[in-house]
Structure 1
């Protein structure tokens, strides 16, 4: 398991961050109005979630102690991605999960008992393609013949597919490599691949390690709006 992080960088270029902040304010206000009496403790519930900007509401509420104040016996279990958090729920290891809409939709074709309870945040700029400029990539057409990695069946995979369609690049024109999300950044930094479809916080980590002079960041704001959802 990954160690729990207690902070979220405000510098991430996410257009939905103000919407997330509004949700936090409304949620905290609702908790404050819930009454002065301490409620009885609830049955234990495990919530599987990744550390990412869009489900940050969960971690913020937990860090501020509001789940405890409302008598919620909630255990947060950390996973590298929402897709794997959802997989934990489907294995019976959690009652709730935070995940993007893409893994949820794919899973719903296999399980008809899944439910989406709330959307925690959304952004049309959290995912992008980072490519190695020193591998001869400066524009989207340069991806042809290159190795591009992503996590299969995830929001970043969906973004890659949408990006290729938008730029009229066939998937057969590139070599798509599927990897675990936590292995994507090291693969690009080490030069094992040419480009990666990636999200925060991994985007920022890659840029810090390689520097902008060795990278090109293919943004596509408005091409795909990613949502993060509470499901069970």
Structure 2
């Protein structure tokens, strides 16, 4: 609690608060506090939401947020669709795959991006391997996910799209053990699995240079109905996230300490990927282009029974986001 009080005091200075008693001094006749449940993936990518909750920024904006932790954006999305949560955090890949099955959800905003979250890794080699060394080799990946899309995109970008590889589909937590056991020759895996492998086998792990191959975005998603009927709440949530991102920019060390404690992740593990994260609110053409690219890939590779790509523009609802960004310019 002492640490939380210190972080809160720092935050109030950072965002122009009016004193440590700000949250407690709200008068009784002000608007009532709204309650909202957010299904949140337990990854550092959720940092702005965690910080907004831990530093009570949500409360400043008169919204009582309950964080519901899940291991993966697909589980968060499912919790939102089934009514267990009001909002969910999700990568654009989860959005893409679900869009082939349903159209009753909306993308409210992206709040973090990374162009280096996925890695293509080999093990046990004494010499730096070439991409062509993967010819006729087994590559472990998570089926119909960003992990599989990343492999195909990487081979295309490096001019090796005709490489003959054998795809071995595994759950993400089984990829590392399969690589070490020699069941596969390389794996496509997201963080923190790459960090964990490098830490456990520092002299045996080789990561192919792939920064910029795939641009992951983490997004805030709601059902279509919730987006239509809870616009005011969504504005509050996004304003709080925006202020949390300001705190991250001004006080990165304190931000990492908060995330480390909340997720029970060592600080050195956070440092491994933190510099790759770009924390900002957006909902732009790059996200739409990314969705379309992945959608075309899913159709071409028959990862879906659909014969055409959905119109992803219909899934974007930037009304609350535009309000927040425009009000920020006025400030």
TM-score scaled by length of structure 2: 0.54
* Residue 221 (structure 1) aligned to one of 211, 223, 235: 211
- Larger Rg computed on CA atoms: 2
Give the structure 2 partner of residue 37 of structure 1: 26
User: Structure 1 unaligned runs (5+)?
Assistant: 1-24
Cα deviation, 1:88-136, whole Å, max 9, x if unaligned, reads: 3233332211111111022122211211111111121222211114398
Structure 1 residues 82-91 or 220-229, which shifts more?
82-91
Q: Label 1:178 to 1:31 Cα distance change in 2 as closer, same or farther (>3 A).
A: farther
Q: Distance between the aligned counterparts of 1:63 and 1:186, measured in 2? A: 35
Note if contact 2:40-2:67 (Cα within 8 Å) is conserved in structure 1.
Answer: yes
Q: Label 1:136 to 1:195 Cα distance change in 2 as closer, same or farther (>3 A).
A: farther
Note if contact 2:118-2:191 (Cα within 8 Å) is conserved in structure 1.
Answer: yes
Q: Distance between the aligned counterparts of 1:184 and 1:165, measured in 2? A: 23
Note if contact 1:85-1:97 (Cα within 8 Å) is conserved in structure 2.
Answer: yes
Q: Label 1:30 to 1:178 Cα distance change in 2 as closer, same or farther (>3 A).
A: farther
Q: Distance between the aligned counterparts of 1:134 and 1:79, measured in 2? A: 36
Report the 3-state secondary structure (helix = DSSP H, G, I; strand = E; otherwise coil) of the residue aligned with 1:118: strand
Cα deviation, 1:13-49, whole Å, max 9, x if unaligned, reads: xxxxxxxxxxxx8xx83998x9862752323x32222
Give the structure 1 partner of residue 285 of structure 2: none
The Cα of 1:150 is off from its aligned counterpart by 1.9
Alignment of 1:55-204 (within 5 A): 55-134=46-125, 138-170=129-161, 173-204=164-195
Q: Distance between the aligned counterparts of 2:148 and 2:17, measured in 1? A: 36
Report the 3-state secondary structure (helix = DSSP H, G, I; strand = E; otherwise coil) of the residue aligned with 1:188: helix
Alignment of 1:202-213 (within 5 A): 202-211=193-202, 213=203
Q: Distance between the aligned counterparts of 1:191 and 1:180, measured in 2? A: 16
Report the 3-state secondary structure (helix = DSSP H, G, I; strand = E; otherwise coil) of the residue aligned with 2:34: coil
Note if contact 2:115-2:215 (Cα within 8 Å) is conserved in structure 1.
Answer: yes
Give the structure 2 partner of residue 15 of structure 1: none
Note if contact 1:81-1:181 (Cα within 8 Å) is conserved in structure 2.
Answer: no
User: Structure 2 unaligned runs (5+)?
Assistant: 1-10, 223-331
Structure 1 residues 199-208 or 51-60, which shifts more?
51-60
Q: Label 1:154 to 1:176 Cα distance change in 2 as closer, same or farther (>3 A).
A: same
TM-score scaled by length of structure 1: 0.74
Structure 1 residues 89-98 or 128-137, which shifts more?
128-137
User: Which structure shows the bigger proportion of residues in helix conformation?
Assistant: 2
